[in-house]
Amino acid sequence: AQSVAQPEDQVNVAEGNPLTVKCTYSVSGNPYLFWYVQYPNRGLQFLLKYITGDNLVKGSYGFEAEFNKSQTSFHLKKPSALVSDSALYFCAASSGAGSYQLTFGKGTKLSVIP
């Protein structure tokens, strides 16, 4: 069975500082990996995905994520945090082509402090 772990329930960072939200996965074969963001009282919104190719993936709102196969990680990063980045972030994984199901992590609450 596949699984996704987000080891931190909450991450606090000062505005303007770099941020990292961690994610590790356990998926058979070559994984498809995703990050979604959820703002209060809203549905999840797609940020970025890794399917194949360059290990560094760039997404919406200045976010990027690095795929590390040896560490089975897909950490979300941003060079300079904004207060408006405060939200709940979900990592998700699938076992690849032909698989419809995304397994989501439990989410990490990011708070950017002014």
Partner 1 sequence: DAGVIQSPRHEVTEMGQEVTLRCKPISGHNSLFWYRQTMMRGLELLIYFNNNVPIDDSGMPEDRFSAKMPNASFSTLKIQPSEPRDSAVYFCASSSIRDSPLRQYFGPGTRLTVT
Q: Residue 52: how many CA atoms within 13 Å on its side-chain side?
A: 5
- Alpha helices of the chain — where are they, by DSSP H? none
Interacting residues toward partner 1 by CB under 8 A: 32, 34, 36, 41-46, 49, 90, 94, 97, 99-102, 104-107
CB of 31 to partner 1, least distance (A): 11
Rounded distance, CA 97 to CA 16, Å? 38
**Nearer Cβ to partner 1 (78/107):** 107
CB of 18 to partner 1, least distance (A): 26
